[in-house]
């Protein structure tokens, strides 16, 4: 592959109309940039992780942004209470605006992966993962979910979410399949704009990035869902036309909806890692489409470029990256970037463009005029976090996302007045219902006491059956003494995230052997059985499908998993 092959033909790609620049903001940026030192400018293009940077260091290095990665939380406590988050937000903000030693201080932005609700924060509302929302095929619902996610983000002092993922997953072995809405590009496209509206508000309205809104990030640009064999961070083998027709569809609508940041993908195309793909980052996104926001990197992804390391990668900036996501590598990167400016490997022109974009983002988000994060919200913040209203919306999303795959003998709807056996490892496990990217990167460790409105599938069944005068027998292994009228078996995947969830086959029989046995046993005993499958993707579960009388694919429903019970019982 030669440099010449690493190109795009912009004319093949659709035109996009992005929201216009505001001359007043541009003038303020000119003024600020004239007062910044070179060290400050370099600091702005770096984002460090909250587990690896103190407020004092943010001030000392003038960092532009802090993120909290999937497993990062204040005090290294995944269950950190809201107060600890907001205190950390204030501390970073105060450090960033401290003018000591500089002519002008620049407020920080704090990013986090609120990818299915503000799921990194204990007690927040956790919506179904995107794959379930895609199955709902309801763009209005998506906008509401995004709006509520933004409201909950403000509570903890966050300004920015790394969402939506607008991948178009084409190989379900990919461990991030559930983060995408659909393998159908038209659904991804219809959703992308609406989720951006919900998070940021509508461009050209007063509410844009106003109260209760946060900055959105379309990710992972571009082709992340098309990697060969579904291998995470791999090579997307697609022609330019396939990139346009399949993988980029979400970007067309997200950019028109005014998405302010785009996250570069770990994957490659044309043999070149996206963090260094100038044709796509600069020629297409910034020149052809006139995108005037920020291209942010992904978790040390720049370190994967040829001849680069996590602390040294001038090529990413020169290819069009504006902000390095440098979780623990930020300090070395700050030094190496300064060195490359001195040697001329990085041009001041490019650095200035990146800084201008970051300042523009901060102006548009109102950060230069905003008080400290804890003062940005009036009333009782706890009222908003994981509230009943929010749980009700999550429940609606759960009901709309479930897919009925089989209903032999018209088993559904079930009669809640009977005796119901509930089996399976997923029935009463909130962590399994939520999947990865929930409180920790890989998910799985959830304490239901943090979620007053949460319902597992079992709690939802109890709620309905109790009212109807029926009886629930909860036996995870499916064994019973008193014969039930019907059984509900809830099983599925254990939580995972990113490459740790990659599979070599969708037909791994070792995983569900026990479930198949339980279902066969119930069938042998003549008990009509509904199977509910919790998973981040479709899998080959034909033995279970055949053994069950009825079968619902529920994907990863989140903290309102109990809403599935509303679907399966007749009133
Ligand atoms: C993921 C991104 C995420 C980032 C920060 C990366 O590993 O690919 O989707 O936004 O980490 O947690
Ligand atoms: C972080 C994630 C990140 C991942 C990348 C984890 O330690 O918590 O946010 O996406 O590393 O490998």
The best mutation among 71, 303, 440, 501 to test binding of ligand 2, ranked by most ligand atoms within 8 Å of the C-beta, falls on 71
CA of 49 to the centre of ligand 2 (A): 10
Q: Give the Å distance between the CA of 67 and the centre of ligand 2.
A: 11
What residues are in contact with ligand 2 under a 6 Å CB criterion? 69-72, 299, 441
How far is residue 236 CA from its own chain's centroid? 21
Q: Which of 498, 502, 515, 544 is catalytic?
A: 498
Q: Give this prediction's pTM.
A: 0.97
Two tokens, residue 526: 């003549």
Contact between 25 and 260 (Cβ < 8 Å): no
Enumerate the β-bridge partners of residue 269. Answer: 236, 272
Probe target for ligand 1 pocket from 47, 162, 443, 501, with the most ligand atoms within 8 Å of CB? 162
Going from the Cα of 458 to the center of ligand 2, the distance in angstroms, rounded, reads: 31
> Quick one: which ligand is closest to 70's CA?
2
Of ligand 2's atoms, which has the minimum distance to the CA of residue 441?
Answer: 8
Pick the catalytic residue from 256, 298, 428, 502: 298
Task: Please give the distance, rounded to the nearest whole angstrom, from the Cα atom of residue 109 to the centre of ligand 2.
Answer: 19
Report whether the peptide linkage leading into residue 59 is cis, meaning its omega lies within 30 degrees of zero.
no
Q: To which residue do tokens 């219809």 refer?
A: 190
Nearest C-alpha to atom 8 of ligand 1 is from which residue?
A: 298
CB-based burial label for 467 (10 Å; 0-12, 13-18, 19+): exposed
Residues in the chain, overall count = 571
Ligand 1 binding pocket includes 70 (Cβ within 6 Å): yes
- Tell whether ligand 1 has an atom less than 6 A from the beta carbon of residue 437: no
Instruction: Give the closest residue (by CA) to ligand 1 atom 5.
Output: 69
Distance 114 CA to ligand 1 centre (A): 11
CB of 298 closer than 6 angstroms to any ligand 1 atom: yes
* Distance, first Cα to last Cα, the chain: 63
Clarify whether 179 is annotated catalytic. no
Ligand nearest to the CA of 218: 1
Q: What's the CA-to-centroid distance between 69 and ligand 2, angstroms?
A: 6
Residue 193 φ/ψ, nearest 5 degrees: -65, -40
**Measured from the CA of 162, which atom of ligand 1 is nearest?**
10
Tell me if 69 CB under 6 Å of ligand 1: yes
Binding site membership of 299 for ligand 1 (Cβ less than 6 Å): yes
| Residue 1 confidence (pLDDT) | 46
Helix (H, G, I), strand (E, B) or coil at 562: helix
What is the reported pLDDT for 350?
A: 98
> Which runs of E-coded beta strand occur in 333-447?
403-407, 419-423
Of all atoms in ligand 1, which is nearest to the CA of residue 266? Answer: 8
- Closest ligand to C-alpha of residue 166 is 1
User: How many angstroms separate the alpha carbon of residue 233 from the centre of ligand 2?
Assistant: 13
Ligand with an atom nearest the CA of residue 219: 1
Q: Given the CA of residue 499, which atom of ligand 2 is nearest to it?
A: 12
Distance 487 CA to ligand 1 centre (A): 39
- Ligand 1 atom 12 nearest Cα: 69
Q: Rounded to the nearest whole angstrom, what is the distance from the C-alpha of residue 72 to the centroid of ligand 2?
A: 9
| Residue identifier of the C-alpha nearest atom 11 of ligand 1 | 299
DSSP conformation letters of 37-102 = -HHHHHHHTEEEETTS--HHHHHHHT-SEEEE-TT--GGG-TT--HHHHHHHHHHHHHHHT--TTS
Task: Tell me if 270 sits within 8 A of 311, measured CB to CB.
Answer: no
Which atom from ligand 2 is nearest to the alpha carbon of 497?
Answer: 10
How is residue 353 written in tokens? 């463009």
Q: What is the pLDDT of residue 181?
A: 98
323: which strand partners?
296
| Cβ contacts of 274 within 8 Å, gap of 6 or more | 220, 221, 222, 223, 264, 265, 266, 267, 268, 280, 281, 301
Active site annotation includes 143? no
Strands 272-273 and 268-269, by their bridges, are antiparallel
- Closest ligand to 266 CA? 1
By most ligand atoms within 8 Å of CB, the mutation choice from 52, 69, 500 for ligand 2 is 69
> How many angstroms does the Cα of residue 316 sit away from the middle of ligand 2?
20
**Cβ-proximal residues to 176 (8 Å cutoff; 6+ apart), any chain:** 165, 167, 169, 224, 225, 232, 497, 498, 501
**Residue whose CB lies within 8 A of the most ligand 1 atoms, among 110, 113, 231, for a mutation test:** 113
Q: Consecutive 10-residue runs of the chain (571 residues): their mean pLDDT? A: 71 94 97 98 98 98 98 90 94 98 97 97 96 98 98 94 98 98 98 98 95 96 98 97 98 98 98 97 97 98 98 98 99 98 98 98 97 84 84 98 98 98 97 97 89 94 98 98 97 98 92 95 98 97 97 98 96 70
């Amino acid at each position: 592959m030669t440099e010449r092959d690493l190109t795009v033909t912009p004319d093949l790609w659709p035109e996009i109309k992005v929201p216009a620049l505001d001359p007043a903001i541009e003038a303020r940026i000119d003024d600020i940039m004239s007062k910044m030192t070179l060290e400050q400018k370099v600091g702005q293009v770096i984002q460090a992780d909250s587990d690896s940077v103190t407020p004092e260091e943010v001030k000392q290095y003038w960092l532009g942004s802090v993120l909290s990665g999937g497993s990062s939380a204040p005090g290294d406590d995944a269950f950190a209470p809201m107060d600890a988050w907001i205190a950390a937000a204030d501390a970073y903000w105060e450090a960033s605006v401290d003018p000591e030693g500089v002519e002008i201080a620049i407020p920080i932005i704090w990013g986090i992966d609120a990818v299915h609700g503000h799921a990194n924060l204990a007690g927040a509302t956790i919506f179904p993962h995107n794959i379930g929302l895609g199955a709902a095929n309801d763009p209005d619902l998506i906008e509401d979910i995004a709006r509520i996610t933004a409201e909950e983000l403000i509570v903890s002092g966050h300004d920015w979410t790394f969402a939506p993922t607008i991948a178009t997953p084409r190989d379900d072995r990919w461990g991030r399949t559930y983060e995408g809405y659909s393998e159908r590009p038209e659904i991804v496209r219809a959703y992308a704009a609406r989720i951006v509206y919900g998070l940021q508000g509508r461009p050209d309205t007063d509410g844009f990035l106003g109260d209760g809104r946060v900055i959105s990030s379309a990710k992972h640009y571009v082709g992340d869902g098309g990697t060969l064999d579904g291998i995470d961070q791999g090579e997307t083998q697609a022609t330019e036309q396939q990139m346009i027709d399949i993988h980029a569809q979400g970007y067309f609508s997200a950019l028109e909806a005014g998405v302010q940041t785009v996250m570069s993908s770990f994957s490659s195309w044309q043999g070149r890692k996206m963090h260094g793909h100038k044709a796509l980052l600069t020629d297409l996104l910034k020149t052809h489409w006139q995108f005037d926001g920020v291209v942010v990197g992904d978790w040390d992804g720049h370190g994967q470029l040829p001849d680069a390391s996590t602390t040294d990668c001038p090529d990413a900036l020169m290819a069009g990256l504006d902000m390095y996501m440098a979780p623990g590598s930020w300090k070395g990167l700050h030094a190496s970037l300064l060195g490359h400016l001195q040697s001329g490997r990085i041009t001041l022109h490019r650095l200035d463009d990146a800084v201008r974009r970051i300042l523009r983002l901060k102006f548009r988000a109102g950060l230069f005029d905003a008080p400290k994060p804890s003062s940005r919200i009036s009333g009782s913040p706890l009222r908003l976090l994981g509230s009943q209203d929010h749980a009700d919306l999550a429940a609606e999303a759960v009901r709309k996302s479930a897919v009925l795959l089989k209903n032999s003998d018209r088993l559904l709807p079930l009669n809640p007045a009977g005796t119901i056996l509930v089996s399976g490892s997923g029935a009463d496990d909130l962590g399994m219902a939520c999947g990865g990217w929930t409180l920790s990167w890989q998910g799985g460790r959830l304490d239901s006491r943090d979620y007053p409105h949460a319902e597992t599938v079992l709690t939802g069944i109890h709620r309905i059956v109790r009212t109807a005068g029926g009886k629930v027998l909860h036996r995870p292994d499916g064994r019973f003494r008193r014969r039930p009228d019907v059984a509900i078996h809830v099983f599925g995947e254990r939580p995972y995230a990113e490459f740790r969830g990659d599979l070599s086959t969708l037909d791994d029989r070792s995983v569900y052997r026990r479930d198949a046995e339980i279902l066969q046993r119930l069938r042998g005993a003549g008990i009509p059985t509904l199977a509910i499958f919790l998973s981040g993707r479709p899998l080959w579960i034909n033995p279970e499908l055949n053994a069950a009388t009825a079968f619902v694919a529920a994907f990863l429903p989140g903290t309102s998993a109990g809403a599935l019970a509303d679907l399966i019982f007749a009133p």
